[in-house]
A and B are shown apart, each in its own frame.
Chain A
Amino acid sequence: MTVVRVPRSLWEALRRAHPGTGDDALARACVERGRRALGEDGLRAEFARRTAAALLLRTELLDARGRAREAAARERASYERHLALEREVVPPIRARARELRAAIAGAEADLRARGLDPDAVAPPMPVDALSVDQEPPRYRTPEERRRRAVEFFRRVGGP
Chain B
Amino acid sequence: MRFELHGLRERLRQDELAARMREREIAMTEGWLLPRLRRDVAAYEARLEALLAALREP
Contact = CB atoms under 8 A, between A and B. Distances in A.
Contacts of B37: 90, 93-94, 97, 130, 132
Contacts of B44: 97, 100-101, 104, 125
The DSSP consensus for interface residues of chain A is helix
Contact of A122 (B12, B34, B50): B50
Contacts, number: 126
Q: Is the interface of B mostly helix, strand, loop or mixed?
A: helix
A85 interface: yes
Interface string B17-32: 0110011011011111
B39 A96 contact: no
Contacts of B9: 64
Given A64-B8, A68-B8, A57 B50 contact: no
Interface stretch (A5-13, A15-23, A42-50, A75-83): A75-83
B48 A103 contact: yes
Given A68-B8, A97-B37, A129 B54 contact: no
Interface of A: 54, 57-58, 60-61, 64-65, 67-68, 71-72, 74-75, 77-79, 81-82, 85-86, 89-90, 93-94, 96-97, 100-101, 103-104, 107-108, 110-111, 114, 116, 118, 121-126, 129-130, 132, 158-159
Contacts of B30: 85
B51 A75 contact: no
B43 A126 contact: yes
A111 B51 CA distance: 8
A100 B48 contact: yes
B15 A93 contact: no
Contacts of B28: 159
A126 B40 contact: yes
A6 to B, nearest CB: 31
Contact of B26 (A81, A97, A121): A81
Contact of A110 (B1, B18, B55): B55
